[in-house]
Amino acid sequence: MGIEDYGGGQTAQSDVLVVTTNDVPGYQVTQVIGEVFGLTVRSRHLGSQIGAGLKSMIGGELKGLTKTLVETRNQAMERLVEQAKARGANAVLMMRFDVSEAADVGTEVCAYGTAAVISRS
């Protein structure tokens, strides 16, 4: 896997700016719309579970699970952006991820933040 397989985040062409900060330098918040989130739950397929079990015996990175988690986080973030855009926002402030086990059958990933309208100061 290359470096792109481990990353995520926005492209420069995104209509909605997503930041982990309270504000954006050079911009002012003109409207706070409210909380938005993107949620997805992924189960692991049998092959990756067997591979992860074997790998955990000898140690090292579980690359298949890493790739799945990156894809899951990216999907959650895409859904966050879609919801923000649908509510009229052009920014999401204070974006965070929450990850948890979902009933022992998969991993739940939630991307959440505050949808807002920002403009240049």
pLDDT at 53 over 70: no
pLDDT at 57 over 80: no
Whole-number mean pLDDT of the chain?
84
Angstrom distances, CA of residue 88 to CA of 10, 60, 115 = 18, 44, 8
Q: How confident is the model at residue 60 (pLDDT cuts 50, 70, 90)?
A: confident
Distance of CA 47 to the CA centre of its chain: 25
Q: In this predicted structure, what is the pLDDT of residue 55?
A: 52
Q: For residue 102, which of 121, 79, 84, 76 has the smallest C-alpha distance?
A: 76
| Tens-digit pLDDT profile for residues 65-76 | 778 888 889 999
DSSP state of 43: P
* Contact criterion met (CB below 8 Å) for 116 and 89: yes
Q: CA angle, corner 61, sides to 2 and 71, nearest 5?
A: 55
| Tens-digit pLDDT profile for residues 61-107 | 777 777 888 888 999 999 999 999 999 999 999 999 998 887 777 78
Report percent pLDDT > 90 for the chain: 52
